Chain A
Amino acid sequence: GESVGLHLPTLSVQEGDNSIINCAYSNSASDYFIWYKQESGKGPQFIIDIRSNMDKRQGQRVTVLLNKTVKHLSLQIAATQPGDSAVYFCALMNYGGSQGNLIFGKGTKLSVKP
């Protein structure tokens, strides 16, 4: 069956450095990919998404990279700030699916050291 895995359950970075959070998936039919951020005591918050017809998409201080050949997804955060401390989830959906078919990873906890 479908599976989504994160390379590291925790990541600690120095304030101002760049952060990279990685996600691997198993199903080649995965078509739509999303990153969510969940701060302590809050629900997940949408950060950025990407379709399979793209390999890179940029937002404000964040970049998502998709490598369909090796089924790998990454989230890059530039100039990491203390407010970026949170758990980051990747989620994916197969072609023709719906939000109800989203498959989530377990999450990577990002800690930012001042």
Chain B
Amino acid sequence: ETGVTQTPRHLVMGMTNKKSLKCEQHLGHNAMYWYKQSAKKPLELMFVYNFKEQTENNSVPSRFSPECPNSSHLFLHLHTLQPEDSALYLCASSPQDRPNSPLHFGNGTRLTVT
């Protein structure tokens, strides 16, 4: 158990669908992150929330919309995705958004866009 729980584990959606990914952390951390992991590519940072405030949006297309209602929960709302958006989406948390606060990752949501 990582302390960071992501649901669903797998998601298949059409390009016209709207869906949401959910992340919950039970570690008392104040920073939460969304990462995209594609085959044969390094982890790509998408969004950072520090104390519920978005501090980084790494040039992510607007079809991905994050929401952080509190320090324990993070959502990624998806709409009109493209097949190239198929990937493993990882949520992570850390005590704060600074060095010496290693990331704790969830097990990810495997997203397939058809």
Residues of chain A with a CB closer than 8 A to B55's CB: 98, 100
Q: A45-B105, A49-B102 are in contact. Are A99 and B42 (CB under 8 A)?
A: no
Complex: A49 Cα to B100 Cα, angstroms: 8
A20-63, CB < 8 A from B: 31-32, 34, 36, 41-46, 49, 51
List A contacts of B94 (CB < 8 A). Answer: 99
Q: How far is the CA of A99 from the CA of B97 in the complex (A)?
A: 5
B48 at the interface (CB under 8 A from A): yes
Q: Is the CB of B4 within 8 A of A43?
A: yes
Cβ–Cβ < 8 Å partners of A66 in chain B: none
Cβ of A4 within 8 Å of any chain B Cβ, yes or no, is yes
User: Once the chains bind, are B98 and A43 in contact (CB under 8 Å)?
Assistant: no
On whether the beta carbons of B41 and A46 are closer than 8 Å, the reply is no
A99 and B108 contact, CB distance less than 8 A: no
Cβ of A68: which chain B residues have Cβ within 8 Å of it?
Answer: none
Nearest CB of B to A59, in Å: 12
Q: Is the pair B99, A93 in contact by a Cβ cutoff of 8 Å? A: yes
Question: Which of B4, B41, B106, B108 is the one whose CB lies under 8 Å from A106?
Answer: B41
A13 adjacent to chain B (CB < 8 Å): no
How does the 8 Å CB contact mask read for A57-99 relative to B, with 1 for contact and 0 for none?
0000000000000000000000000000000010101000111
What are the 7 closest A-B residue pairs judged by CB atoms, nearest first?
A: A43-B105, A100-B48, A104-B43, A46-B102, A104-B42, A98-B97, A32-B99
B interface residues (Cβ-Cβ under 8 A, vs A):
2, 4, 31, 33, 40-43, 45, 48, 55-56, 90, 92, 94, 97-108
The interface of chain A, by Cβ under 8 A from chain B, is 4, 31-32, 34, 36, 41-46, 49, 51, 89, 91, 93, 97-100, 102-107
19 example contacts (A-B, Cβ-Cβ < 8 A) are as follows A4-B42, A32-B99, A34-B102, A42-B2, A43-B4, A44-B90, A45-B105, A46-B103, A49-B100, A89-B42, A89-B43, A91-B43, A93-B99, A98-B55, A99-B33, A99-B92, A99-B102, A102-B45, A106-B40
